[in-house]
Amino acid sequence: MKTTNQTTSNHDNFVKIVEVGPRDGLQNEKTPLTFEDRRNLILDLMKTGLKNIEVGSCVSAKWVPQMAESDQLYASLPHDEDIQFSLLTPNLKGFESALAVGCKEVAVFTAASESFTQKNINCSIEESFEKFADVLQLAQQHDIKVRGYVSCIVDCPYEGPIDPSKVAEVSAKLIDLGCYEVSLGETIGTATPDRVAKVWNACFERIEPQLLAGHFHNTYGMAIANIYQSLTQGIRIFDSSIAGLGGCPYAKGASGNVSTEDLFYLLSNMGYETGIDLDALMLASRNISQVLQRNNPSNYANAYWQKKCA
Ligand code: HMG
Ligand code: MG
């Protein structure tokens, strides 16, 4: 029987974007950004019309120093009832930090690869479910939404190709545990649309498409092609990162996520609604690129500024 969730609606023309730049985008920076720079990025993003913003991770600062004080960062933000902030919480300790600052949405994360799960969160896939069960139970008591992530949906940096049926199994388990949505992470950006199609087909045997999101890294420049493929199969939720920031400390060589700018260009030109204000998005993208002193990999952002300055 397919796993469904009555509270999620699927407007065919609306695409939900989850901005992961402040978390996925910054977790891999060689020099961690200051608290103030992280906060300014989120304040910029709040002006763009983006309604879902991942603020950071309540993980061990020994493992990911870039995400230290994410709970305090959350607490320092002005709260807007139209914007859903979230924090990554791999276990009860992380969840309790998020709870203490009044966070209303958290995300748990595992993978379809045993080796990656060990490297990333220091436990097996099965053990990760045990930790998440505690998180989900407490979250339910406090009326906190929990999103799930599954990494390595196509290839694993340690194990190579991953069987789509394993992705479906792990994703369905997260939904069964109580996650309201599961984001499928193409962690190392090696996938092509044919392989992405197989993953969605395997998942659709067990889960309704409206409960699934696509999270595509862009190492080989395939993220937009993979998103287009996903759109044709009915996926209407995508994660993206301002200025294409991102990577995972436990997936060496993987580059950033699809940029929110390029995703916006694709979606708006195809007639999908996103609620994004283009000029505000471009300002946020320019500001963070300046802070990081880095060229923006987004083709659309570069074309936008060239045209504007011509
Ligand atoms: P562990 O060492 O197994 O944890 O780490 P432990 O329970 O044995 O505790 C060891 C120490 O960590 C203790 O401190 C705990 O208090 C502390 P000590 O006594 O040594 O001083 N600790 C914590 N501190 C802060 N927050 C916590 C926490 N838990 C324990 N929540 C742990 C397990 C999960 C904490 C560790 O492996 C970790 O922090 N991993 C980081 C994982 C991570 O952030 N990865 C990147 C995000 S996932 C991703 O990028 C993929 C995604 O984008 C999708 C995709 O692209 O595929 C989502
Ligand atoms: Mg990621």
pLDDT digits (tens, 9 = 90+) for 237-294: 999 999 999 877 788 878 899 999 999 999 999 999 999 999 999 999 999 999 999 9
**Ligand 2 center–CA 310 separation, angstroms:** 35
**Ligand 2 center–CA 241 separation, angstroms:** 9
pLDDT confidence of residue 204: 98
Inter-CA distances, 182 with 177, 270, 291, Å: 11, 24, 32
Return the ligand 1 atom nearest residue 91 CA.
31
pLDDT confidence of residue 261: 98
Residue from 259, 233, 199 nearest 17 by CA = 259
Nearest CA to ligand 1 atom 33: 121
Which of 23, 55, 60 to mutate to test ligand 1, by most ligand atoms within 8 A of the CB atom?
60
Nearest CA to ligand 1 atom 53: 24
**Ligand 2 center–CA 12 separation, angstroms:** 25
Q: What is the CA radius of gyration of the chain?
A: 18
Domain contains 9 = no
Contact 235, 210 (CB under 8 A): no
Domain contains 222 = yes
Residue from 21, 106, 113 nearest 59 by CA = 106
Return the ligand 1 atom nearest residue 94 CA.
31
β-bridge pairing 155-156 and 160-161: antiparallel
The beta strand positions in 210-259, using DSSP E, are: 212-216, 237-240
| Backbone phi and psi for residue 286, each to the nearest 5 degrees, phi listed first | -70, -40
Number of domains in the chain: 1
Quote the CA–CA distance of 197 and 150 in Å, as a whole number: 16
Which residues does ligand 1 sit against, CB inside 6 Å?
24, 27, 57-60, 63-64, 90-91, 93-94, 109, 120-122, 149, 151, 185, 187, 215, 217, 248-249
126-135 long-range contacts (CB < 8 A, ≥24 apart) are 128/90, 129/173, 129/177, 131/90, 131/91, 131/92, 132/108, 132/174, 132/177, 133/177, 134/91, 134/92, 135/89, 135/91, 135/92, 135/95, 135/106, 135/108
Which of 20, 59, 170, 216 to mutate to test ligand 1, by most ligand atoms within 8 A of the CB atom?
59
pLDDT confidence of residue 11: 56
Domain contains 281 = yes
Domain contains 4 = no
Nearest CA to ligand 1 atom 12: 60
Digit-by-digit pLDDT tens for the chain (310 residues) are 454 433 333 457 999 999 999 999 999 998 899 999 999 999 999 999 999 999 999 999 999 999 999 999 999 999 999 999 999 999 999 999 999 999 999 999 999 999 999 999 999 999 999 999 999 999 999 999 999 999 999 999 999 999 999 999 999 999 999 999 999 999 999 999 999 999 999 999 999 999 999 999 999 999 999 999 999 999 999 999 999 998 777 888 788 999 999 999 999 999 999 999 999 999 999 999 999 999 999 999 999 999 999 8
**Ligand 1 center–CA 236 separation, angstroms:** 30
- By three-state DSSP, how is residue 108 classified? strand
pLDDT confidence of residue 212: 98
Return the ligand 1 atom nearest residue 121 CA.
37
Contact 52, 86 (CB under 8 A): yes
Domain contains 208 = yes
Active site residues: 248
Domain contains 286 = yes
Give the containing element (helix H, strand E) for 198.
helix 193-204
CATH code for the domain of 299? 3.20.20.70
**Ligand 1 center–CA 116 separation, angstroms:** 13
Residue 255: domain span: 16-309
Domain contains 8 = no
